[in-house]
Amino acid sequence: MRGSIILWIFLWASWASPAELLRVRAGGHWGFSRLVFDFDRRVLYSTVRLDDGGLRLSFLGAEYRGAEKWGMRDRRVGRVYISQMGETIVATVHIRKPVAPRPYSLEEDGVFKVVVDLYDLLPSDLYLRRGREYLKEGLYEEALAMFQGVLTLYPSYAEARLEVGRTLKMMGDYEGALHSFHQVPASSPAWGEAQAELAMLYRRLGREEVAVESWREVARWARSRFGILGDTLRGLPPSKGDSEGRWGIVTLGYMALLGMGGYGLFRVLRRRRYVPTDAGELRGEHEGTVEPSVIEQVRIRTKRGESKEIIAKELGMSVREVELALRLKGKL
């Protein structure tokens, strides 16, 4: 009985004693860096991302008697600071460049390892820039993939959500575009642009009342965005000069938003619209009704695999005009 009690006390003491941190090391690999914490036995741990891009790891039931600062010769990991808080080790990791951490643990040869793989995180601006370039070139699917890649990394990125809506609108997916524009949060700086896109799209779909309400939201957003006085100075009448200046800014912002869709409307109004009515006209009796530049655009978009319906919507033409342009492209 006495021997059992002594054995139990010995096991309890070894179990209750904290684990010891043996060493910290970092090594570079192809495409990522690996940060490793070695312990003499299993510990509980957690990982928290810091505002400056660094990491904070907490190891419960562990202690360390070595150096408090570790310098790492790695292009992603800078320094690791170790501090002891009771029976918890707190490791603050300073990162040299944006990374995506993937922590996990394993046990090898009696050593418990807490491993953090640090993968390079591409800036969202790079994806947005590439997506906008693809959009200018008419590569809608590639542009959509870039913008959706940004949303995969940053689900609340409002500008990426706005660009997804614009791309879907150009692809002819109006329902998807409406859904994407509505997902832009009101607290985002891109919310006013999203409302302007909604207004233009609702007007294209014939929903005039909803379009007018969207333009009213744009006006309210412009007033709040450019510094119109709110509840703070409600009792004071604004001076005439301040009022004129503020309304001038609001008017300029409103006209700038209107100008987003003005170019397309101008192209539609300046070009003579003509729809052939019989097969004789399709054979070339009115070959001058389609401009050579339009025929070239139709030819390029057809080679990219776009359907006649999408080409007609984007160029402000009818399907029969697109067919006429395809017939005339070999005669120029």
pLDDT tier, 232 (very low <50, low <70, confident <90, very high otherwise):
very low
Whether 111 contacts 40, CB under 8 Å: yes
The predicted model gives 1-10 an average pLDDT of: 42
pLDDT tier, 67 (very low <50, low <70, confident <90, very high otherwise):
low
- The residue that leads in pLDDT, 223 or 240, is 223
pLDDT tier, 272 (very low <50, low <70, confident <90, very high otherwise):
very low
> For the chain, which domains are there?
17-120 (2.60.40.3500), 124-231+239-263 (1.25.40.10), 271-331 (no CATH)
pLDDT tier, 230 (very low <50, low <70, confident <90, very high otherwise):
very low
pLDDT of residue 253: 59
Q: What are phi and psi of 137, to 5 degrees?
A: -85, 0
Long-range contacts formed by 254-260: CB under 8 A, 24+ apart: 254/218, 254/219, 254/222, 257/192, 257/193, 257/196, 257/218, 257/222, 258/196, 260/193, 260/196, 260/197, 260/200
**Residue 248 above 60 pLDDT?**
no
Q: Among the listed ranges 21-30, 36-45, 231-240, which one has the minimum average pLDDT value?
A: 231-240
Distance CA 52, CA 133 (A): 30
In the numeric block, which tokens belong to residue 66?
Answer: 């070595």
Distance between first and last Cα of the chain: 107
Backbone dihedral region for residue 200 (phi beyond 0: left; psi -120 to 50: alpha; all else: beta): alpha
Q: Among the listed ranges 54-63, 159-168, 206-215, 256-265, which one has the minimum average pLDDT value?
A: 256-265
The predicted model gives 36-59 an average pLDDT of: 89
Q: CA-based angle 123:148:254, to the nearest 5?
A: 85
Q: What are phi and psi of 53, to 5 degrees?
A: 95, -5
pLDDT tier, 276 (very low <50, low <70, confident <90, very high otherwise):
very low
pLDDT of residue 330: 56
pLDDT tier, 326 (very low <50, low <70, confident <90, very high otherwise):
confident
Q: Which residues are within 8 A (CB) of 164 and not within 5 positions of it... i.e. 6 or more apart?
A: 144, 147, 148, 151, 180
Q: Among the listed ranges 221-230, 233-242, 309-318, 321-330, which one has the minimum average pLDDT value?
A: 233-242
123 vs 94, 136, 140, 159, 299, CA distance in Å?
18, 21, 21, 14, 36
pLDDT of residue 281: 41
327 vs 232, 255, 272, 282, 304, CA distance in Å?
66, 40, 19, 8, 17
pLDDT of residue 90: 92
Whether 63 contacts 89, CB under 8 Å: yes
pLDDT, one tens digit per residue, over 122-160 is 667 778 888 888 888 889 998 898 888 888 878 888 888
DSSP strands (E only) in the chain: 19-29, 32-39, 44-49, 55-60, 62-63, 69-71, 77-85, 88-95, 99-108, 111-120
Q: What are phi and psi of 115, to 5 degrees?
A: -110, 135
**Residue 113 above 90 pLDDT?**
yes
Distance CA 72, CA 102 (A): 19
The predicted model gives 240-249 an average pLDDT of: 49
**Residue 325 above 60 pLDDT?**
yes
Mean pLDDT of the chain: 74
Please say whether the dihedral angle defined by the alpha carbons of residues 237, 240, 243 and 247, taken in this order, is positive or negative: positive
pLDDT, one tens digit per residue, over 166-203 is 999 988 898 988 898 888 888 887 888 888 888 898 88
pLDDT above 90: percentage of residues in the chain:
9
H or E element at residue 147: helix 140-153
pLDDT of residue 303: 78
**Residue 73 above 50 pLDDT?**
yes
The predicted model gives 63-91 an average pLDDT of: 82
pLDDT tier, 37 (very low <50, low <70, confident <90, very high otherwise):
very high
Distance CA 25, CA 131 (A): 39
Distance CA 325, CA 117 (A): 56
The predicted model gives 266-275 an average pLDDT of: 48
Closest CA to 183 of 151, 220, 141: 151
The predicted model gives 279-293 an average pLDDT of: 47
pLDDT of residue 49: 85
